């Protein structure tokens, strides 16, 4: 954490690292060792006011900056992040507990891919469109608040901030106080890449203070939030007082349907891999495996063997496949949910509340529960831990019904004997994204959910468009249209 260590007691406002107006701090803990790594500012509403003022002052100049120049700045920032990838990966591993190899690929490698995909997408946005004698012009929304979570901190930050900056917006970023240091690395990279002072600001602190102040601030034109559905609901309600545009990427309870004729064992293992990534602390986890009843034993055997191959331990050890949960509170919550599920009649196939885990750190064993009924709380609650529920079905229609029997609608998967049949079933699901026979996330395609999984989309052209406002210029005749520069 060497590069970001000297940022820990400061806020980034108007291009400068400055002291907070408050005196409180928040401890940042290593969940594998329970040691305090550093402390960050417990920001105040006055800090938020200063950051919003800096962003508003920078907004006219950044909005007027040519698209090619905005692209060049973001492209240089991506290159700087790549140069520092190992350092950032180790920082995220220390704060979140993600095994280092996974941090390199997912916590740092993928965000860089996201940022470069946004750069490639920016010229593809329909910045100007002619409709008869009208010219439809799309420009920056204004000052944007980006409120990001701890589980994939750099990934969520670049998806919002990169898109907003390319759109011509300026940003106030509130990273999670649990894992803030990658936000400092991003701030350094953007500043060194040539982003004007004030175009990007970072305020650390608690959600109920800094997040609330941003959501209700009259100087904020849009807020993009990733986190729990409960907090998203609060942000939407508060932001509505100022008619502030809101984009929300919220929870999930991803279903994975295995159709008859598919390789059940392979599909079960692929689903478990997606469920246990980052110890299950990911909104896009596939946490419900829906299998033909007659194949239940095959799935359970494959899952038991897969869990047996997992290794919990030091995230810096190359042999480790699963690290700890992020905090003691999260560990206690996940354990409580597992114990309640067993009490409700779920059967432990692997792991479970009595599994042996390292004594130090916030570890929970990867757990597979079968005989799960769709009405059980464990089948309906986003656990945010390494817990996979197995639900049997009799008919294909029942499988679809089980998959959609959720308040969430973020991600899912369908495994079938052929792509055509699997795609047909996938098209019936009320989900923002569905993997077909092993299809994975594409950072150029839109990411987001249906129903209580959120509002809006991230990544690529769709992600940039979330930060644009539309103006229609009506001319007397089509041949008199004058096109502004982009």
For residue 152, count other CB atoms closer than 10 A to its CB: 27
CB burial of residue 449 (10 Å; 0-12, 13-18, 19+): buried
Q: What is the largest CA-CA distance in the chain?
A: 76
Tokens of 65: 């900056």
Measured CA to CA, the distance from residue 199 to residue 457 in angstroms comes to 22
- CA angle, 431 as apex, 425 and 432 as ends, to 5°? 125
- Given 283, 382, 458, 466, which residue is catalytic? 283
- CA angle, 221 as apex, 232 and 446 as ends, to 5°? 60
Measured CA to CA, the distance from residue 6 to residue 38 in angstroms comes to 10
Q: Which residues have C-beta within 8 Å of that of residue 345, sequence separation ≥ 6?
A: 371, 373, 376
Using CA atoms, how far residue 130 sits from 138, 320, 474, in Å, is 12, 56, 10
Is there a contact between 232 and 254 (Cβ–Cβ < 8 Å)? no
List, in sequence order, every beta strand (DSSP E) within 132-177: 134-140, 143-147, 170-174
Catalytic residue check, 249? yes
Helices (H), 288-415: 296-308, 328-343, 377-380, 396-404
Measured CA to CA, the distance from residue 250 to residue 356 in angstroms comes to 32
Radius of gyration of the chain (CA): 23
List, in sequence order, every beta strand (DSSP E) within 341-418: 347-350, 367-370, 387-393, 411-415
Measured CA to CA, the distance from residue 221 to residue 374 in angstroms comes to 40
CB burial of residue 470 (10 Å; 0-12, 13-18, 19+): exposed
For residue 442, count other CB atoms closer than 10 A to its CB: 13
Q: Pairing mode, if any, of strands 411-415 and 254-258?
A: parallel
3-state secondary structure of 12: strand
Given CA atoms 392, 396, 397, 403 in this order, what sign does their dihedral have? Answer: positive
- Given 249, 300, 458, 465, which residue is catalytic? 249
Catalytic residue check, 420? no
Residue recorded with tokens 């999984």: 453
Write out the catalytic residue numbers: 249, 283
């Amino acid at each position: 954490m060497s590069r970001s260590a000297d940022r820990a007691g400061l806020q980034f406002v108007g291009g400068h690292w400055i002291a907070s107006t408050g005196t409180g701090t928040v401890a940042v803990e290593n969940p594998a060792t329970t040691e305090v790594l550093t402390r960050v500012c417990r920001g105040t509403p006055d800090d938020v006011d200063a950051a919003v003022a800096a962003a508003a002052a920078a907004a006219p100049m950044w909005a007027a900056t040519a698209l090619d120049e905005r692209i060049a700045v973001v492209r240089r920032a991506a290159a700087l992040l790549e140069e520092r990838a190992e350092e950032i990966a180790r920082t995220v591993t220390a704060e979140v507990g993600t095994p280092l190899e996974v941090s390199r690929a997912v916590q740092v490698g993928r965000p860089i891919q996201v940022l470069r995909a946004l750069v490639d997408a920016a010229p593809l946005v329909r910045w100007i469109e002619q409709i008869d004698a009208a010219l439809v012009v799309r420009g920056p929304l204004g000052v944007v608040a980006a409120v990001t979570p701890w589980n994939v901190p750099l990934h969520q930050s670049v998806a919002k901030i990169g898109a907003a900056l390319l759109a011509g917006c300026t940003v106030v970023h509130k990273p999670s106080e649990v894992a803030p240091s990658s936000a400092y690395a991003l701030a350094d990279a953007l500043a060194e890449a040539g982003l004007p002072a004030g175009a990007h600001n970072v305020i650390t602190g608690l959600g109920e203070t800094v997040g609330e102040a941003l959501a209700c601030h009259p100087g904020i034109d849009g807020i993009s939030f990733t986190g729990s559905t409960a907090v998203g609901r609060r942000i939407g309600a508060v932001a509505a007082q100022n008619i502030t545009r809101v984009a929300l990427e919220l929870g999930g309870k991803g279903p994975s349907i295995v159709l008859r004729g598919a390789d059940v064992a392979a599909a079960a293992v692929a689903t478990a891999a997606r469920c246990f990534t980052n110890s299950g602390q990911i909104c896009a986890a596939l946490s419900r495996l829906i299998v033909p009843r007659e194949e239940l034993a095959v799935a359970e055997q494959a899952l038991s063997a897969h869990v047996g191959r997992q290794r919990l331990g030091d995230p810096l050890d190359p042999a480790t496949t699963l690290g700890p949960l992020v905090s003691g509170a999260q560990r206690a919550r996940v354990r409580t949910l597992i114990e309640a599920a067993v009490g409700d009649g779920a059967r432990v196939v692997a792991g479970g509340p009595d599994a042996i885990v390292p004594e130090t750190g916030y570890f929970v064993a990867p757990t597979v529960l079968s005989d799960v009924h769709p009405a059980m709380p464990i089948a309906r609650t986003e656990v945010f831990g390494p817990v996979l529920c197995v639900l049997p079905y009799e008919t294909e229609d029942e499988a679809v019904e089980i998959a959609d029997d959720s308040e969430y609608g973020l991600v899912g998967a369908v495994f079938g004997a052929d792509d055509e049949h699997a795609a047909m079933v996938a098209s019936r699901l009320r989900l923002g994204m569905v993997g077909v026979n092993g299809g994975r996330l594409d950072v150029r395609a839109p990411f987001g959910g249906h129903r209580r999984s959120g509002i809006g989309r991230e990544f690529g052209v769709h992600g940039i468009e979330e930060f644009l406002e539309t103006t229609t210029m009506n001319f007397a005749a089509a041949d008199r249209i004058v096109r502004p520069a982009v």
